[in-house]
Amino acid sequence: MEPIMVYFESIPSRDRSLILAGGIAFFWLMETAFPLFKFSYKKWKHAAINVFFTFTTIIVNFALAFLLLQISRWTQESHWGLLTFIDSIPLILYALAGLLGLDLISAYFIHWLEHKVRFMWRFHLIHHTDVHVDTTTANRHHPGESIFRFVFTSLAVFILGAPIWLIMLYQALSVVLSQFNHANISLPERVDKFLSLALVTPNMHHVHHHYVLPQTDTNYGNIFSIWDRMFGTFSYMKQEDIIYGIDTHLDASEHSKISKMLKIPFEPYRKPVGGKFSSPEE
């Protein structure tokens, strides 16, 4: 475990880029060879849209990265955070506890909140407008949402007192697992049921991308599936019954044009079927 800690403490930007690109390439090939849904769409054109949002996310995170480093450095120098209470346990258990904590706050909780606060949902729904969910969808986030997620990542680091190596390890795992659980593939049922006891699988996360409530408001997990099971937000649905997208934005011009998607959060709110945010003041 120590070599991993040392590596991620000063992981080169080149290696982080390789993890991102390598994950996309691997799952791209997997879903091309063994697709769950045989979409009638131009895969490269679809990918170009999501790659654009991938770059905006990278830009936001790069511009604000120094804040994350400063928060982590301060917690370490001040011996601050929940992880300080367990810093004497074996390193592998310390890492697991830290990964769980980061996943809970900076992935599950912020994702749940984006579905419960209308202002945040306006930005997050761009992720849900994709009607051809595949591995590139993992990075389809409006720049505004990228800021929300950075804020909660910083909050998680502050609460936990996470060292930089743990943050980098979590982000690397998050990138790969997010690409995995969005990929247009389906695992054998037995394999999926076993893996989904701990990890978010494609079969599990695809339900979250079903176009209508209540499925849209379930299965928020990113790496660990235990949060959905623990907080009662787990849902199951047969893969063949899933229809991707979001019912308020099914027009092709609204989910396949970047300029249009960037404007969606600032347009008049549209209420999804099922009654999300029915009050004008919510």
pLDDT band at residue 223 under the 50/70/90 scheme: very high
Mean pLDDT over each residue of the chain, to the nearest integer:
91
Whole-angstrom distance, CA of residue 248 vs CA of residue 245: 9
Say whether the peptide bond before residue 12 is cis (omega within 30 degrees of 0). no
CA-based radius of gyration for the chain: 19
Does position 176 have pLDDT exceeding 90, yes or no?
Answer: yes
pLDDT at 279: 47
Specify which residues 268 forms β-bridges with: none
Q: What is the pLDDT, as a whole number, of residue 275?
A: 62
Q: Write down the pLDDT at residue 173.
A: 96
Residues 124-168 have pLDDT tens digits of: 999 999 999 999 999 999 999 999 999 999 999 999 999 999 999
Residues 65-74 have pLDDT tens digits of: 999 999 999 9
225 close to 196: Cβ distance less than 8 angstroms: yes
Write out pLDDT tens, residues 23-82. Answer: 888 888 888 777 777 777 788 888 999 999 999 999 999 999 999 999 999 999 999 999
Alpha carbons 256 and 244: distance in angstroms, whole number: 14
pLDDT, one tens digit per residue, over 266-281 is: 999 888 876 666 544 4
Residues of the chain with pLDDT > 90: what percent? 70
pLDDT given at position 233: 97
DSSP 126-164: HHHT-SS--GGGGG---HHHHHHHHHHHHHHHHHHT--H
